[in-house]
Amino acid sequence: MSVEDLTRADIERILDRAQSFAEVSGRAIKKVPALRGRTVLNLFYEASTRTSSSFELAAKRLSADFVSVRAQGSAVDKGESLKDTVRTLSAYDPALVVIRSPWAGAAELVARWAPAAVVNAGDGKREHPTQALLDLYTLWQRVGALDGLKVWIVGDVLHSRVARSNVLAFRRMGCEVTVAGPPTLVPREIESLGCRVRASLDELAEADVVYALRMQRERMEGAFVPSLREYAARYQIDGRRLSPQQVLMHPGPVNRGVELSAEVIDSPQALIAQQVEAGVVVRMAVLYELLASGGQQEPAAGLGLQAPVPAVVEVAGQSA
Ligand code: NCD
């Protein structure tokens, strides 16, 4: 439901398991029988490319049967119809439901109505926990230990469920988190999650990791910035603002030329493609954790998460 549900040990166990699934993804036949005969159901009430496709691949690579249902938000009369839909689909006896919805708390409701396990794949502006997990995985694979890393999350924090989940997740792993953006798009309450707030990018040079957010125009009713041009002038991550030792992340989809310039999107510092790739193995690990681990919650077995903090983020391995 939320990153808040996860301890650091839980996160490390999931990331370790994701790493073991990366080996499966490298095989010609990318399948293991772990979830044979189980049904995974995607129930998406909001647009999605990466999240829905990676949950589908993850379920299929674990040999589960997979059903996908997409509903168009505006046409659906929420409360009752979500309940009815869930009740109807429960007739297929799914072992797990992946739900994305524009309503905060929808995943908890589904969990109340369906006997299946439930994964929150984004609930309105609130949380997107598997995105946070795949981001931690991607960063861990690139730089090693996460403790003490300085992470700057930049942009439309107000409308971003990724921002909330990621502040929580990066903090859990010992990172120092700063969120930055126009004051109209950065709620001060976010500080209660354990991060600092900045209204400018003046100190961005201190960051090891720059995590840019998409301008969520579909969630904006009024004007939160004077214009996208002005936003870009003050907050766009471009070749001048990103220094060579920093790594760049973005959950996708990117508004090219708004939050990121084309040159940084295509630079070797960008981990955007690696984040998408990580989505499959991390979601395999989440499905496995919920359906196949049999409650076995052994601690992570020394795969580098406890390793000492690198003094600088290494970008030497950029070809990786
Ligand atoms: C994010 C989402 O939908 O919350 N995208 C994603 O899952 N990769 C972020 C976004 O839409 O900006």
* Whether residue 91 has pLDDT greater than 50: yes
Query: How many C-beta atoms surround the C-beta of residue 173 within 10 A?
Result: 22
Ligand 1 binding pocket mutation candidate from 133, 162, 259, 275 (most atoms within 8 A of CB) = 162
pLDDT digits (tens, 9 = 90+) for 95-110: 999 999 999 999 999 9
Q: How confident is the model at residue 247 (pLDDT cuts 50, 70, 90)?
A: very high
Residue 282: HSE in the Cβ half-sphere, 13 Å Cα cutoff:
28
Provide the pLDDT for residue 226: 86
The share of the chain scoring above pLDDT 90, in percent, equals 80
Rounded mean pLDDT of 161-171? 98
Distance CA 115, CA 95 (A): 8
pLDDT of amino acid 219: 82
Average pLDDT of 138-166?
A: 97
Residue of 9, 289, 271, 2 lying closest to 140 (CA atoms): 271
In short, whether 162's Cβ falls inside 6 Å of ligand 1 is yes
70 band by pLDDT with thresholds 50, 70 and 90: confident
Q: Tell me if 51 CB under 6 Å of ligand 1.
A: yes
Architecture of domain 129-274: 3-Layer(aba) Sandwich (3.40)
**Which pLDDT score, from 0 to 100, does residue 78 have?**
55
Question: Per CATH, which fold does 3-127+279-319 belong to?
Answer: Rossmann fold (3.40.50)
Residue 219 beta carbon below 6 angstroms from any ligand 1 atom:
no
Expressed in angstroms and rounded, the spacing between residue 162 Cα and the centre of ligand 1 is: 7
Helices (H), the chain: 8-25, 50-61, 78-89, 106-113, 129-143, 161-172, 228-235, 262-265, 272-291
**Smallest Cα–Cα separation from 252: which of 282, 212, 224, 222?**
212
Where does the pLDDT of residue 11 fall: very low under 50, low under 70, confident under 90, or very high at 90 and above? very high
Q: Where in the chain is the domain with CATH 3.40.50.1370?
A: 3-127+279-319, 129-274
Residue-level pLDDT at 57: 97
First to last CA, the chain: 32
Most confident of 216-220, 281-285, 291-295: 281-285
Confidence of residue 184 (pLDDT cuts 50, 70, 90): very high
Average pLDDT of the residues in 68-75: 66
Q: How far, in Å, CA of 234 to CA of 226, rounded?
A: 11
Mean pLDDT, rounded, of the chain = 90
